[in-house]
Amino acid sequence: MLASSLEQHINSVYQYHCLDPVNFILLFQPVQFGNTSRPGSPPTGGEHGHGSPFTMGDESISKTEFDQAFTSNGFDAPPTAYYNAFISPRVKNLAGITSKRELAMFLANVIHETGGLKYLEEINGHESCKKGKYRDVWGSNPAEPNKNKCYHGRGPIQLTYPQNYHDASLAIFKDAATLIDNPERVLTDKQTGWETAAWYWGSRVGNQPGVKEGQFGSSINAINGAEECRGQNQDKAAKRKEYYANIFRLWRISGQVDLSGC
């Protein structure tokens, strides 16, 4: 990503979803999707941190391929610690990713949102909170924000808004208070960061029409469709598509790249 485009990306504010102006980070274990996990496989690190593949049915992705998803798009390979957190079974279960193609979709969006996993916290997020942003709650079980906390973008997927912190906390920790009272944990704890990213994908993106069928544009629509599919930031959608197409080809995924849905 060129410096000017990255600066524009950092300064843009995504108000619609979990991802926000500053970009985020995210991800799993040479993890095995579906019911293909080998008994006794280490939950993190171990041999997998050195490039052993993880499988989804008859497909596999190594640590090397994970790194290449970033480097082929002009970013540095992430530190191994991020990969080790990414490959945990908890992340796998929360994300519900069922194919190599869907994992490529997930990573392409992560790369775009985080500037290649460089930005874990929204720039000027606290200032945005002071101006009254990120207060919204919704749904049948509305969050009760801690008035002393700010719910700006943090972590792999730039979790924002108290309701998203609330719902992610319930799914991950079985109580709302963990992230409502300590939203900073999404930033400071790599495992929690990946888990919130996985939760967001599984509950807000991967279950949307077209995503499981491989329509990459549908994932963009689920994440920030109002801005990037129908609004003024369609150039950002084009960049996401570029990242996805690069990963798709690099990983030699079967079939054709499908960018429809946005």
Active site residues: 113
* Structure tokens, 175: 């109580």
Provide φ and ψ at 215, rounded to 5°. -85, 100
* Under 8 Å between Cβ of 49 and 56: no
Nearest CA to 209 out of 138, 262, 139 is that of 262
DSSP string, 97-110: --SHHHHHHHHHHH
Q: Which residues contact 24 (CB under 8 A, 6 or more apart)?
A: 110, 113, 114, 119, 120, 153, 154, 155, 156, 157, 158, 159, 197
Q: Is 136 exposed, middle or buried (0-12, 13-18, 19+ CB in 10 A)?
A: middle
Separation of alpha carbons 192 and 175, rounded Å: 14
Alpha helices in the chain (DSSP H): 3-11, 63-71, 80-86, 89-95, 100-114, 125-130, 162-173, 177-181, 185-188, 190-200, 216-228, 234-250
